[in-house]
Structures are given as C-alpha cells and as structure tokens.
C-alpha cells in the first residue's frame, strides 16, 4: 500500500515543489460543518481547530517553513491555507478565520497560477459558497486546461510546454469545481477522473504518460497504477456533490470498500496522520462509522494535548496533530520549531475533521470519577476510577503536582491514592484536555468514639429520637432496631439524628454503625404501655 500525496512531492527540489503549488491535498467536501456524530467527543476537534486557527498571518495566509539541503525556505502558501480553511469550515466554530483566509487567497496570484491551483481554488470557493472575480477567473483557467481531444481528452493539463505536475489529485479538484460551475468541460473532466480508479477500488497516484495509448488505470503498467490512500480518500470527498449519478455512486462504493481493507489493526493508515485523517474523513461521511472511530482514536493519540497543570507540550503547540509517533516524542522534548510546526499544520489541515469521530464516554466525552467506597480506613491505598473518552488526556491531582493520564481504548483508567494516617477527607480533582473539571472526595477513617443517645423509656406506639455523634461528615451510618435496618447519613457536623417507632413492649438495643465496623455504639431503650 502506498500513500503519495506529499511524500512523493517531497522528492522534488524545493523550487519545483514551490512551482507545484498544489502538493498539499486538503479536501473541499463540505459547505457547512459536519453534523457531530452521535456519541462522539467534540473536544479534540475543537482544540485542534483552535490550534489551526492561529496559523494564518495578518493577511490570512499560512507561511510554509521547511529546510532542504541546508537551505531554509519560508514561503506563503495559499495551497496549505486552503486546506486549513476547508478543515476549519468542516469542523465549524471558526467562521471569521475561514473568511479571512479565503479573502487572503483570493487576493493572491494562486487562483490563476497553475491549472491545478486554479481547480483547487475554485473547488475551495464553491465549498465555502463564495463568489467573485477571482473564482470566475479560476474556473475559466481550469476549464480551459481540460484537454478536449485526443487519447487523453478530459485530462487536466498545464499549457503546452509547461512543466505538468497535474495528477488524479488535481483532477479531482477540477471534477468538483467544473461541475459546481456548470462548465462546458465538467463531464469529460469527471469521466477522466473516474478512469483513474483501478479495478481494486483505489485511485492511482499518477496519470499515464501523455503519449500512452491507455490513459486509464492499466494493470499491465504496475508503475503507473500504484495505489494511493490519500488520493482515494480525497476523490471520495470531492465527489460527494455528484454521488447521485450512478457512475459516481458506483465509484464511491468501490473506493470506500478498498479503504476499509487498507486500515491497520491500530486504526491508522501507514502510521501516518495525513493519510489516516483523509481516510477517516472519507469513511465517516460515507457511513463507515466504526472504521472512522478507530482511525480517530489513533489520531487522538497523535494530538498534542495538555490538560490542566499536566502541560507536557508548549502552549503554542497544544491541539496540533503530528504526523507520527516521533512527532509526539519530539514535541514532548522541546517546543516545535517553525519547520516542525509547519509539518504539524499540514497534518492538522488534513486530519482535523476526522477527529469529529473521536469516541466519547457515556455522555459524549464526559469524564466521571468513582471509587468503590468513599469512606475507607485511614492510611489505606485506594484506586479512583476515571472513565471518559478513549484517548482523552486527564490531569489528576490531590492539590499538588498533577499526574498525566491518557485514557486507553477502554476509556477507563485508575489513579492510586494513599490516604493520610489520620482521619480526614482528600479530594481528587481532574481536568481533561477540553477543560472539563471533575472531583471526588474520599474520607479516611480511624477508630473513633461514637456516642449514641436515646430516651430510656418510651410509651408504646410513640416515636422517639436517637442521636449519635462522632461520625465523619457525610459518613454512612447503619441503624438497627428490633430486626429492622435503616441506611442513613451523618450530617455536616458528623451527627446522626433519626426517629424510630416504639412498636413492642420490652427492652431492646438501638445499634448505630459507621462506615467501619469499629465505629459503632448502642443504646438501650425500654418500651412501656
């Protein structure tokens, strides 16, 4: 299995990569935020969106930073800006930032640069529901860049003689943009895109050479028919507004089936956040919820998430998705530099919407704390059970330094607590990556002198009061009298008051017992006629 969206482009010289301008493959799939899946935890997507929204400059454009062969490149990237804006639009909650980014791209030369850039920009504008001269110019350029005759009719290409970096990726942009525009070459652009889908269901990573007789996926040409998770997922996303057409519906079905077979046991695609994010996004909107949840869980483990005082990542990095395990390790060791942040920005741009399928707890990510017993022997060690969304980062403490806990796939972890030797309450507090705070109180008890009082004589049929002191505030107390039992609770001062009815003539005992068997007393009462 191969994923080639940017990893193949990385082999280009820096100058060529800049000329490409469309190496970053951010899908333009939704014109409105994705409906939040039932049972999902909204926190990781919201935190990721907050990180991504901070990346554009004052002009709305994200600057791409990279080092190649010892030379640093810092270049404004309308292409990455489009990817980020589309992800923010899909997640929702960042409308002003998205509008600022769109305005910035519209004012750049990107809309009419390369054929692929024009197609990408036009697809982006239609996805956001925007209009204007820049969009019109981009549509004109993209439509004019579709070959209308010859063996590769329908193919997106740059001007004759120009270096042609177009691929099934940019063809997908053109198929969407020209369809939405009602352009004259929309139908043949779509046909050519569908021809890039191989029999197994994937979309291949490159076009055939222009002089090849067969411009479709050719099993006889294995080098020209390499599978791409990224391009397959991307095609699924771009074709959403044409899925009512039978050929498109059939293509989508094959693509989704293939994607489900390529997912790793850990939920990822090649252990790479970019590919995993695109695939999960495509799977999620196609109704493959289980696969999307599995991928989102893997992605969440590759999101830099601080919680409360358990801040292992730099504040500026919080919420970013990094490409792989090494990215997490490096970000823990030191704040991301501009190059690492640029890589994380790209990963977040592609993978952010997939986090919408991050599984939640019983209440969609709500964290709950529980203990077997809230009143236990002083000096004992107890486990606080923390339940919530799988992959959520929790910071637990008793007032001092916090302990960082990442909830496993089960959504449940334990926090061990050793209580002081003296009687007293300890509060365990938690805060998760989304800012939700919870707490639970555990009281350690030692032997205590419990004193119970009641009238010595009571007339039969009358009610009488029993008072017991010496309990801890809120301590559960069991009261037994003449074979009947009541489970009660001491008040805030550690006092228990209860009314009992004198039903039978004779002498008997009222017994009161606290949370520990050693914390008890009894009082004798006599019922008379």
pLDDT at position 29 is 42
Determine the Cα–Cα distance for residues 88 and 33; give it in Å rounded to an integer. Answer: 8
Determine the Cα–Cα distance for residues 210 and 147; give it in Å rounded to an integer. Answer: 11
**For residues 174 and 212, is the Cβ–Cβ distance under 8 A?**
no
- CA nearest 292: which of 232, 230, 357, 351? 357
Q: What CATH code is assigned to 368-445? A: 2.60.40.10
**Percentage with pLDDT > 90 across the chain:** 83
Using the predicted structure, report yes or no on whether residue 391 has a pLDDT greater than 60. Answer: yes
- CA nearest 217: which of 237, 236, 192, 239? 192
pLDDT at position 28 is 42
Residue 194's φ and ψ, nearest 5 degrees, are -65, -25
Helices marked H in 77-185? 78-91, 95-106, 115-128, 133-144, 168-181
**For residues 419 and 426, is the Cβ–Cβ distance under 8 A?**
yes
Using the predicted structure, report yes or no on whether residue 41 has a pLDDT greater than 70. Answer: yes
DSSP letter assigned to residue 39: T
Question: Tens digits of per-residue pLDDT, 132-152?
Answer: 999 999 999 999 999 999 889
pLDDT at position 362 is 66
pLDDT at position 273 is 97
Using the predicted structure, report yes or no on whether residue 26 has a pLDDT greater than 70. Answer: no
Confidence of residue 8 (pLDDT cuts 50, 70, 90): very low
Q: Tokens for 61?
A: 């454009």
Question: Tens digits of per-residue pLDDT, 343-363?
Answer: 999 999 999 999 999 998 766
Mean pLDDT for the stretch of residues 65-86: 96
**Percentage with pLDDT > 70 across the chain:** 92
pLDDT at position 32 is 60
**For residues 217 and 208, is the Cβ–Cβ distance under 8 A?**
no
Outline which parts of the chain fall under CATH 2.60.40.10: 368-445, 451-527
pLDDT at position 280 is 97
Question: Tens digits of per-residue pLDDT, 434-481?
Answer: 899 999 999 999 989 999 999 999 999 999 999 999 999 999 999 999
Using the predicted structure, report yes or no on whether residue 2 has a pLDDT greater than 50. Answer: no
Determine the Cα–Cα distance for residues 101 and 117; give it in Å rounded to an integer. Answer: 16
Using the predicted structure, report yes or no on whether residue 260 has a pLDDT greater than 90. Answer: yes
* Max Cα-Cα span within the chain: 116
Q: Tokens for 227?
A: 């599978």
Question: Tens digits of per-residue pLDDT, 288-346?
Answer: 999 999 999 999 999 999 999 999 999 999 999 999 999 999 999 999 999 999 999 99
pLDDT at position 200 is 94
- Residue holding tokens 């942009």? 173
pLDDT at position 74 is 96
Q: What CATH code is assigned to 42-357? A: 1.50.10.20
pLDDT at position 229 is 97
Determine the Cα–Cα distance for residues 36 and 16; give it in Å rounded to an integer. Answer: 40
Determine the Cα–Cα distance for residues 413 and 428; give it in Å rounded to an integer. Answer: 14
**Structure-model confidence comparison of residues 146 and 38, the more confident one:** 146
CATH superfamily of 451-527: Immunoglobulins (2.60.40.10)
pLDDT at position 10 is 31
Mean pLDDT for the stretch of residues 61-87: 96
pLDDT at position 409 is 86
% helix, strand, coil for the chain, step of 5: 35, 25, 40
Pairing relationship of beta strands 368-370 and 381-387 according to DSSP bridges: antiparallel
Mean pLDDT for the stretch of residues 244-265: 98
pLDDT at position 163 is 67
Confidence of residue 211 (pLDDT cuts 50, 70, 90): confident
Work out the mean pLDDT of the chain and round it to a whole number.
91
Determine the Cα–Cα distance for residues 155 and 145; give it in Å rounded to an integer. Answer: 8
Question: Tens digits of per-residue pLDDT, 359-374?
Answer: 987 667 789 999 999 9
Using the predicted structure, report yes or no on whether residue 6 has a pLDDT greater than 90. Answer: no
Outline which parts of the chain fall under CATH 1.50.10.20: 42-357
- Cα–Cα–Cα angle for 260, 263, 267, rounded to 5 degrees: 120
Three-class secondary structure of residue 224 per DSSP: helix
pLDDT at position 162 is 64
Question: Tens digits of per-residue pLDDT, 415-424?
Answer: 999 999 999 9
Determine the Cα–Cα distance for residues 26 and 385; give it in Å rounded to an integer. Answer: 40
- Cα–Cα–Cα angle for 298, 303, 306, rounded to 5 degrees: 130
């Amino acid at each position: 299995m191969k994923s080639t969206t940017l990893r193949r482009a990385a082999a280009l010289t820096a100058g060529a990569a800049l000329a490409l301008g469309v190496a970053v493959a951010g899908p333009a799939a939704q014109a409105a935020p994705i409906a939040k899946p039932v049972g999902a935890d909204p926190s990781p997507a919201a935190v990721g969106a907050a990180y991504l929204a901070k990346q554009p400059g004052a002009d709305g454009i994200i600057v791409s930073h990279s080092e190649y062969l010892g030379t640093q490149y810092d270049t404004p990237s309308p292409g990455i800006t489009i990817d980020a804006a589309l992800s923010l639009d899909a997640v929702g909650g960042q409308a002003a930032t998205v509008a600022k980014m769109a305005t910035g791209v519209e004012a750049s030369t990107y809309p009419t640069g390369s054929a692929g850039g024009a197609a990408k920009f036009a697809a982006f504008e239609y996805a956001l529901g925007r209009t204007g001269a820049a969009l019109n110019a981009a549509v004109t350029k993209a439509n004019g860049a579709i070959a209308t005759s010859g063996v590769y009719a329908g193919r997106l290409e740059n001007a004759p003689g120009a270096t042609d970096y177009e691929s099934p990726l940019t063809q997908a942009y053109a198929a969407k943009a020209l369809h939405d525009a009602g352009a004259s070459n929309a139908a043949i652009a779509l046909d050519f895109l569908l021809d890039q889908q191989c029999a197994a269901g994937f979309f291949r990573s490159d076009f055939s050479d222009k002089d090849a007789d067969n411009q479709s996926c050719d099993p006889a040409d294995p080098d020209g028919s390499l599978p791409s998770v990224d391009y397959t997922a991307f095609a699924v996303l771009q074709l959403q507004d044409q899925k009512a057409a039978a050929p498109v519906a059939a293509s989508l079905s094959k693509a989704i089936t293939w994607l489900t077979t390529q997912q790793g046991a850990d939920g990822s695609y090649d252990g790479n956040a970019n590919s995993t994010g695109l695939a999960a996004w495509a799977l999620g909107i196609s109704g493959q919820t289980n696969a999307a949840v599995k991928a989102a869980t893997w992605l969440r483990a590759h999101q830099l998430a601080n919680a409360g005082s358990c801040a292992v990542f730099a504040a500026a990095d919080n919420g970013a998705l990094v490409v792989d395990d090494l990215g997490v390790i490096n970000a823990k060791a030191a704040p991301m530099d501009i190059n690492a942040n640029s890589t994380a920005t790209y990963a977040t741009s592609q993978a952010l919407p997939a986090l919408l399928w991050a599984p939640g707890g019983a209440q969609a990510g709500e964290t709950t704390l529980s203990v077997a017993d809230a009143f236990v022997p002083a000096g004992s060690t107890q486990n606080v059970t923390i339940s919530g969304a799988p992959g959520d980062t929790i910071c637990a403490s008793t007032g001092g330094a916090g302990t960082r806990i990442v909830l496993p796939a089960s959504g449940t972890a334990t926090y061990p607590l050793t209580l002081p030797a003296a009687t007293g309450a300890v509060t365990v507090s938690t805060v998760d990556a989304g800012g939700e705070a919870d707490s639970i109180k555990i009281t350690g008890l030692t032997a205590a002198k419990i004193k119970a009082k009641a009238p010595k004589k009571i007339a039969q049929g009358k009610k009488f009061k029993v008072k017991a002191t010496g309990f801890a505030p809120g301590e559960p107390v069991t009261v037994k009298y003449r074979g009947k039992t009541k489970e009660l609770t001491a008040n805030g001062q550690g006092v228990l008051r209860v009314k009992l009815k004198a039903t039978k003539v004779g002498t008997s005992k009222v017994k009161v017992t606290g949370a520990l068997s050693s914390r008890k007393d009894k009082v004798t009462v006599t019922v008379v006629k």
